[in-house]
Structure 1
């Protein structure tokens, strides 16, 4: 239809619901964006509100450039019919256009231009109740299949452990034949002189001369550049010759230890050129367990206090949309937004179920692992006591909780996605990235990992800057300069902390010490870095972070939240790649299950990012301009590209967590003084 200026020729027509049709979708399209127009759905009443200044008084309405779509339900219209009203606005600012020209001379006519627009209006049947049921069953089926697969793997692992226990029983009954078969004995009480399991302290292995002796002997056999990391001998030294250290460390311990300085002084142990896990796993396991459990309890507390006002706010948003009929408040993909009850886009909320279900499954997997580990400790299993990467599960619980909260808050965001509530789910994306990096670092640095309080405080600062960037960062040179400087300074401070294993202080003498190091190591004699591997990682990290800071300062991206998330993801990927490379370089191997998880997770991440960048809507533009990116459903006539992103990204995050969980399973029978720190 051709539309003239609204004051001259208002356009509307009536639609009646056919028998058996409960909902329809009204699609309006145009070949040109301007002039800006308004699409309104009104009950069949008199008068019809078809003027620019009153079209928003009743019913539902949207501004429009090239696309508009409104889903209409029979239950909202008692007369079983409604009017579709199309109004051409007198100016284009509401649709992102320029302001109109207003003359300065009184009496001069306003230049309205050629304000006509050709539109195509199509009313089609919306999805049926069967599509809702099919969508829910599909969503549940995908993620419950992971539960089934986990149960099958658990049964297989239980069968394997029973078989292993049977071999141990045969070993005890027939020691001569077991020796010929090569079956290892794994219980500590099988060794003469073994100590009972009291407090299950764990630490470095000694050969009568302290933990540093074995490490020094190892280093003494190779130069700094040709250190061999290979180890193939997984046999355990007799327990009687390796007395355990009874550390009195506490969670608040900073600079004081009660152990002999030669064996435990932090400045002696942590500044050695080559470290093994035993050197950084000397504290009482019970103390560390409480320290890392704080991560879980803190994030659980944060989640409750964060989620409750968020839920209240989005309910208010949805209520405002339903009462006022203003569909410009929320940035949906209106061509694939299926309402249910008071919710305008139920499918976008349903697709977030995967984060919650897979997060819960990950927590159950961690719980089962912890139970098995504690049982092994109670029966004095030597491999559990003194082999492998020290088992601390607090960070894993925090990661699983963060994944569940990501799903809940993403669902809340999609109740009414817009400029003011986007940070609901991005906040927990920052937390997930930070917790994953902390877990990677904790694996081989259990004694010196950051406390939960300092870690969450840093993440709170990140979220604070995220909000500042969105509110004040657009086109603000001063903000970008300040943020880039803080970014670079934080990178340098963190690099120093990691390089010196925390054995440095930021005080009034820091400048003097820096000048002294530069003079002795660079001017007086040109010597290479003492910790080469660490230096390589930190140099690469600084290059990436300085480049990101420069990019932000020069380009000033509009989506500051995504820019900040990209910084976290880049650092996580760098550290993860470094960890795997160093693991292989150290002669360690990656077992089949983590290898499959790495491959499958990488593939799923690739597909997930493809759907994420489809961009079905964007709150960086006006609502009318955002609707130009809307597309039809592509899966079961119920889910759109962004829903598929939710499906795939939840699976990819779950797979990434499994990689972190199983990556070092090959070290479960390796003594900790033979596992290298990097």
Structure 2
């Protein structure tokens, strides 16, 4: 009985094992099916069935025909399934000789599901980079499987990619979406064109690995955010939003983009991969679905999104993000064109040197009668020995002292005011002359002026060296990471040289350096030519050569820092390009005011402290360019205008007094005592208020440029007023000064024209900045911003020379005959 039971148990155990084996066979059922290119297959799959698709070898392909331009094109897999879900996805695996790739459906990117995908596989045969003697399996095996217990219907179609190869000078149109990225290939070579009849000869030229450079340009008619990647000609190809940044170079693009690519970086050619982002946040800087972000940007009118469609998170939302793209590859310039462009710019500067140095030689041989004028006018001022310098200085000081003693109220409270603000100007109700405002010793004036130079040199060293270190680090990070969004280049006109990605924008700043050095030379020459203490104490404008030296050094540093900025221009370092522009504008205004007000001029430490405050304000304007900051700055701007109005109108000598002066009516304040200065301050206030409220209305993110407008506008007003008053007072600047004025106006006009034609915008996102990118405009090497660099350097040099020579006509005129205005 026990034996019978044991036998029965053994029989049952065998039956169970047999059933399990049969069930196991059912789970691991494999269905092998042939596929043909261009034929759609629709089947269902579940956890018990796995499909293996193999190519039908009886199908004849152009892939095997080397005479076709598309020979060697890869396969593209297209899978669609509306039944696959995130919990029950299907998996697709492509096995090739060069590797294995796998995907899942639905495609999930940033919590968005897409019910179809298209992927380009690695080319099995590539006549551009592969020796034709290699034995390569041309076809791919596709596996489709799932863990779902229920059937999931899907359709599969495999095609050979047409127009896979990009050719120089040909426009190529394509459509891209988040789940259907596009991949293309480009090979460097002289004869890589679609018209070639024999691709084998193309292979030979490509293998020569000639160093060439091409410019890729991308254009689109919509603002959908897209990623562009340039990858080595190797497998695998990274073509999804999550892994496209793992290889080569990449950048974000909306309507326009470009990149320069060298064969030295990709000797075997490169893959161009295009993927549309599921969200535009990276390209626009804000989230389309975030109501909080829209509330935060309520006062930021320029960046606030208007009429932006809300991105649908349903499976069919992918249809809303189909982007049409035009691709064009053009050859970059040759080394000969590099040399032509650079040498042409250098020759232009050399011509300026020759003209001004030749004019200097002509001016040097003109009959100067400095000593004669000195002796004659000094004899008039002193009845004793006309060549005794000590007596002349003593007499001049006595005359100045007597003026002050005879009218002790002239420096604190003149008798020509009846307003609630008591004057302290040394000017009487009549005309005032320079000797009344030039009581300090000439040595003190020179010492105070020299402080500008030494302060500026100190600032240049401590400011410039960290800037250079930082931008070199930026360039290294860019080269190592491949992230082209780090730097705001004009990618359609960026010519690399060595480690520099944008050599032309760095090189075009050399004009600031060379012309700044030339201006320092002219200042030194004038400084050495007129070193006569008695003459300077009594004749002409009191010299402030330290200010002129500081202006020349500032012009050189503008070139150095602008070049540093253009190594890697971005939102974080734009101040490098403008800081010394602020300094030059302020130094010029100080010099103009010092000319007729030598004793009440701003000191070096006060001037640079004010500039430090301006840089601090600019920092907050760049980091927080919202409405509230612009409101604060507008109030500050208007308040500073009122303060400077009193300072300029009363020549630095004023104070508040709430009691009216006896003998005068307070209503007389409506009648200006100094009409010329009154006109200046009224015009200046109107212009500044207009600019202040214009900035408040627009409150753009580019606050640094707005602040530069404020400085330059006030400089132009000061210079225009000074020249007008010179002419009105009968002074006649020499002909070369008028030539410098005309030349400066012409170059400033041309420079500003090109300045307002930007090719980038650091205030926007990298993708939005690329919409301003333009091709090169001059010698196939320089764009509008490069031309701005050259013309603005010339304009600043001519403006500085204008200030240096503006008062040469009164060089031999006594202080007692030089009017103050």
TM-score normalised by length of structure 2 = 0.68
Spell out the pairing of 1:516-555 with structure 2 (5 A cutoff).
Answer: 516=660, 520-523=664-667, 528-555=671-698
Q: Select which of 613, 625, 637 maps to 2:780.
A: 637
Report the counterpart of residue 142 of structure 1 in structure 2.
348
Show the counterpart of 2:80. none
| Residue of structure 2 aligned with 1:346, choices 496, 503, 509 | 503
**1:338–1:347: 8 Å Cα contact kept in structure 2?**
yes
- Equivalent in the alignment of 1:216: none
**Residue 489 (str. 1) matches residue 661 (str. 2):** no
- 2:317 aligns with 111
Bigger drift between 606-615 and 184-193 goes to: 184-193
Is the contact made by 2:441 and 2:537 (CA closer than 8 Å) also made in structure 1? no
1:45 aligns with 2:234: yes
Please say if residues 203 and 278 of structure 1, whose CA atoms lie closer than 8 Å, have aligned partners that are also in contact. no
**How many angstroms does 1:63 deviate by?**
1.4
Separation in 2, partners of 1:359, 1:9: 52
Unaligned runs of 5+ in 1: 172-182, 213-258
Q: 1:57 aligns with which of 230, 246, 254?
A: 246
Q: Does 1:418 align with 2:573?
A: no
1:668 equivalent in alignment to 2:811: yes
Distance 1:199 1:540, change over 3 A: farther
Which range moved further: 259-268 or 42-51?
Answer: 259-268
Contact 1:399 1:432 in 2 (8 A): yes
Q: Corresponding residue for 1:326?
A: 483
1:298 is matched with: 455
Distance 1:199 1:310, change over 3 A: farther
1:189 Cα deviation after fit: 8.1
- Match of residue 361 from structure 2: 155
Contact 2:539 2:812 in 1 (8 A): yes
| Higher-RCO chain (CA-CA 8 Å, sequence separation at least 6) | 1
CA pair 194-264 structure 1, distance change in 2 beyond 3 A: farther
1:594-609 equivalence runs, <5 A: 594-609=737-752
Question: How do 1:261-340 residues align onto structure 2 when only pairs under 5 Å count?
Answer: 262=407, 266-267=411-412, 270-273=426-429, 274-340=431-497
Helix, strand or coil at the partner of 1:56:
helix
Q: Does 1:592 align with 2:697?
A: no
1:480 matched to 2:668? The reply is no
Q: Deviations over 1:438-490 (max 9, x none)?
A: 0000111111101001111111111111111121123x33x223222222222
Per the TM alignment, residue 427 of structure 1 is displaced from its structure 2 partner at its CA by: 1.2
1:143-196 deviations in Å (ceiling 9; x for gaps): 12222122211211222147x58xx8xx9xxxxxxxxxxx99669589962253
Structure 2 residue matching 1:12: 3-state secondary structure: strand
1:618-629 residue pairs with structure 2 within 5 A? 618-629=761-772
1:600/1:460 CA distance change after superposition, 3 Å: same
More deviation, 549-558/407-416: 549-558
Match of 1:386?
538
User: Does 1:131 pair with 2:337?
Assistant: yes
CA distance 1:671–1:439, shift in 2 (3 Å): same
Aligned match of 2:57: none
| Contact 2:400/2:435 (<8 A) preserved | no
- 1:230 aligned residue: none
3-state DSSP class of the match of 2:569?
Answer: coil
Q: Secondary structure at the match of 1:469?
A: helix
Structure-2 residue corresponding to 1:86? 274
TM-score where L is the length of structure 1: 0.82
**Alpha-carbon deviations, 1:588-631, whole Å to 9, x = none?**
11220111111111111111111111111112222222212211
Once the two structures are TM-superposed, the CA of residue 333 in structure 1 deviates from its matched residue by: 0.8
- Between the aligned partners of 2:376 and 2:343, the Cα distance in structure 1 is 46
Query: Is the 1:61–1:326 Cα contact (8 Å) retained in structure 2?
Result: yes
Measure, in 1, the Cα distance between the counterparts of 2:322 and 2:446.
70
Cα 1:555–1:518 change in 2 (3 A) is farther
Query: What SS does structure 2 have at the residue aligned with 1:134?
Result: helix
Q: What CA RMSD, in Å, does the superposition of the two structures yield over aligned residues? A: 3.0
Deviation at 1:138, TM superposition (A): 1.5
Contact 1:26 1:123 in 2 (8 A): yes
Which secondary structure state, in structure 2, belongs to the residue aligned with residue 120 of structure 1? strand
* CA distance in 1: counterparts of 2:765 and 2:663, whole angstroms: 58
Cα displacement string for residues 328-360 of structure 1 (whole angstroms, at most 9, x for unaligned residues): 111111111000111110000110000111111
1:107, 1:6 → 2: CA distance?
Answer: 13
Of 179, 186, 191, the match for 1:7: 179
Distance of 2:697 and 2:681 partners within structure 1: 24
Question: Is 1:364 aligned with 2:516?
Answer: no
Measure the CA separation in 1 of the matches of 2:592 and 2:711.
14
Q: 1:200 to 1:468 in 2, by over 3 A?
A: farther
Query: CA shift at 1:210, angstroms?
Result: 6.8
Tell me the equivalent position of 2:307.
none
- 2:652 aligned residue: 502
